A and B are shown apart, each in its own frame.
Chain A
């Protein structure tokens, strides 16, 4: 099970929107609606943002949204704020009770 592919970096100015992609295969992202997104600030544990492709846990701002098309999932951050600067990881169920993560994307707020 190979890692999912994410762009290493993304950036945007405050107030803008940015979309981070997560590309897998038909054996993971494309095969299941179990894509999650996590936000990780430096030195901290990851925090869940999105699960089951587009669901937000309570407490997560609606500026964060998820979607999927085929083998690619996306996380969109709207109305960028300074505190959104962090690393973002996608994950997907890959069958046989295996989870795979993406390589991570560092989001910079300009």
Chain B
């Protein structure tokens, strides 16, 4: 059974760096074809893909956000970490991690999400 769960601060101040952790089970990021993505959703708004990391440590980022994002993995802990620098109130959103099937480009399994509010 595949499960994912996001964790991190619920509140960050403008200009601070956000660090989110996705802890997963039911699969290994050492296996060929496995990858984990981050997707966010501002309150009442649409989904937005942010970043992806693959089993072979390849990394991909949303073009408008690539200068602010870093994705990494710790396979020994079954975790994927996303950092986003220079946080702004417009970054207030629920952040989801999801396992992606790159062969079909589909987000098969999602975590429940974590709401991050950016406010001073």
Contact = CB atoms under 8 A, between A and B. Distances in A.
A104 B48 CA distance: 11
Contact of B63 (A57, A98, A102): A98
Interface in B71-109: 96, 101, 104-108
B95 to A, nearest CB: 11
A3 interface: yes
Contacts of B37: 99
A97 B46 contact: no
Interface stretch (B12-20, B23-31, B110-118): B110-118
Contacts of B48: 101
Q: How large is the interface on B (under 10, 10 to 19, 20 to 34, 35 or more residues)?
A: 20 to 34
Contacts of B55: none
A89 interface: yes
A83 B34 CA distance: 32
Contacts of B108: 48, 57
B35 to A, nearest CB: 10
Nearest to A47: B110
Interface string A3-25: 10000000000000000000000
Interface size class, chain A: 20 to 34
Contacts of B49: 91, 98-101
A51 B112 contact: no
A89 B47 CA distance: 8
A34 B107 contact: no
A45 B110 contact: yes
A99 B106 CA distance: 9
Given A100-B49, A101-B46, A104-B47, A93 B107 contact: no
Given A57-B108, A99-B105, A89 B60 contact: no
A36 B105 contact: yes
Nearest to B113: A45
CB-based closest 6 A-B pairs? A51-B106, A34-B105, A45-B110, A97-B60, A93-B105, A101-B47
